[in-house]
Amino acid sequence: MHKIADVEVQHDIMVANRKLARKNQKILDKDQVFSVDVVGAIGSGKTSLIEALIDAMNYKIGVIAGDVISKYDAGRFEKHNVPVVGLNTGKECHLDAHLVEHALHDMPLEEIDILFIENVGNLICPVDFDLGSHMRMAVISVTEGDDTVEKHPLIFQDSDLVVINKVDLASAVGVDSDKMVNDVKHINPEIQVIKTSLKTGLGFDEVIKAIDLYISGH
Amino acid sequence: MHELSMAQAIVDTIMDAAEKNNAEEILEVTIEIGMLTMLNPEQLKFLLDVLAEGTLLENAKIIIEDVPVEINCRKCQYTGLANTDGSDHYLAIVLCPQCGGRDVETLTGKECSVKNIKIEKSDEDA
């Protein structure tokens, strides 16, 4: 004889990631490391921005370079003489708290003040995965088109700072960068949005100030 | 596109619960997906069907329930269901229905849960 049974499971797969994220933040807090999850579109300038911040900021910096194949970005960061841990996601489109936890074991946390975690270039998937960082900075650029923000609202709702890069190219690609700023403000009215050009240096000091302000308020 | 890894995690969770309860077949599975996750239920369902092949889950009815967005508004202290701007798709912007504010704490809407499973098992296990 067979019988039918209802089994209550109530297991949330997202909760497992959030628990690990909280654990990561505790590990970081223990060594007083402030961490920034850098998310953004492919080719928006995440790596270049982090490189420039390493050179300009008065902090000891470490970087977790997350990518489908991470060795290219990791190699760029290593040239700036900072500790770097590469994280290959393989077929996955985002970092998760579990991967970051592994990378934290290989990072000399006692030697650094700020940890930049460069996420995979993607405006969709990272939204679902908290890494345990203290701040999330979204980097996009005008070359992705001025409807990028409207099409990916949630990542801007979940971020603490938005950088719109390559604004020197806006007219060349027929993009209204003010529209991009307004779209972010529509989704997240309180957030600071900074227009930058890493080529000309426009807005870069503002990015440093914004991160500094966030660190001091932390 | 992380539906595949999430689908695999869902299948693992279901199989774990089924084995613990000595299931001989899984008849029905209810999964909850929050409306603020970046998961497409259609894709998820397709991938669950693919992963279920050749397992106890193969013939199960898979039910996916949407979990609406509930918020706590930091401005006017409203707690309850949110208004969602553009709620016809899965990229909703969350608004407070009382004051229209966007400075809100999200209480629900980010779930990806296996809620329950209905299984068939031998009566001797009862």
Render each residue's pLDDT in chain A as its tens digit; 218 residues. Answer: 789 999 999 999 988 899 999 999 999 999 999 999 999 999 999 999 999 999 999 999 999 999 889 899 999 999 999 999 999 988 788 999 999 999 999 999 999 999 999 999 999 889 989 999 999 999 999 999 999 999 898 899 889 999 999 999 999 999 999 999 999 998 888 899 999 999 999 999 999 999 999 999 87
Q: Check residue B89 and give its pLDDT.
A: 47
- The fold for domain B1-68+109-126 equals hypothetical protein PF0899 fold (3.30.2320)
Of the residues A91, A98, A128, the best mutation for testing chain B's interface (the one with the most B CB atoms within 10 Å of its CB) is A128
- Interface confidence, given as ipTM, is 0.82
Give residues with Cβ within 8 angstroms of A50, minimum separation 6. Answer: A38, A63, A77, A116, A118
pLDDT of residue B90: 46
Contacts of B121 in chain A (CB under 8 A): 2-5
Query: CA of B68 to nearest chain A CA: how many angstroms apart?
Result: 15
What pLDDT was estimated at residue B91?
52
Are B120 and A4 inside 8 Å of each other by CB? yes
Residue B87: is its pLDDT beyond 70?
no
The pLDDT score that the predictor gives to residue A215 is: 95
State whether A127 and B120 contact (CB < 8 Å): no
Instruction: Please report the pLDDT score of residue B125 as a whole number.
Output: 55
B17-72 residue pLDDT tens: 999 999 999 999 999 999 888 888 899 999 999 999 999 999 999 999 999 999 99
The H or E element spanning position A67 is strand A61-67
What are the two backbone dihedrals, phi and then psi, of residue A102, each rounded to the nearest 5 degrees?
-60, -45
pLDDT of residue A41: 95
What is the rounded CA–CA span in Å between residue A167 and residue A169?
Answer: 5
| Superfamily of domain A14-217 in the CATH hierarchy | P-loop containing nucleotide triphosphate hydrolases (3.40.50.300)
Residues 49-78 of B with CB under 8 A from A: none
Tell me which chain A residue has its CA closest to the CA of residue B113: A12
- Residue where the block lists tokens 């060594």: A31
Dist. CA A60–CA A208, nearest whole Å: 14
The shortest CB-CB distance from A187 to any of B38, B93, B118 is to B93
Place of tokens 């970046």: B38
Closest A-chain CA to B123: A2
What is the structure's pLDDT at B84? Answer: 73
pLDDT tier, B2 (very low <50, low <70, confident <90, very high otherwise): confident
Contact B70, B109 (CB under 8 A): yes
Q: Is the pLDDT of residue B92 over 90?
A: no
Q: Which two tokens stand for residue A33?
A: 């490391």
Contact between A128 and B113 using a beta-carbon 8 Å cutoff? no
Buried b vs exposed e over B82-104: b needs ≥16 C-beta within 10 Å?
bebeebeebbbbbbbeeeebbeb
**Residue extent(s) of CATH 3.30.2320.50 domains in chain B:** 1-68+109-126
In the three-class reduction of DSSP (H, G, I as helix; E, B as strand; rest coil), residue A163 is classed as: strand
Whether residue A90 lies within 8 A of chain B, CB to CB, comes out as no
Partners of residue A184 in chain B, C-beta under 8 Å: none
Q: Is A69 on the interface with B (CB under 8 A)?
A: no
**Cross-chain residue pair A125–B2, CB shorter than 8 Å:** yes
User: For the whole model, what pTM was predicted?
Assistant: 0.88
Across chain B, the runs of DSSP E, i.e. the strands, are: 23-34, 61-67, 70-73, 79-81, 83-85, 93-95, 104-108, 112-122
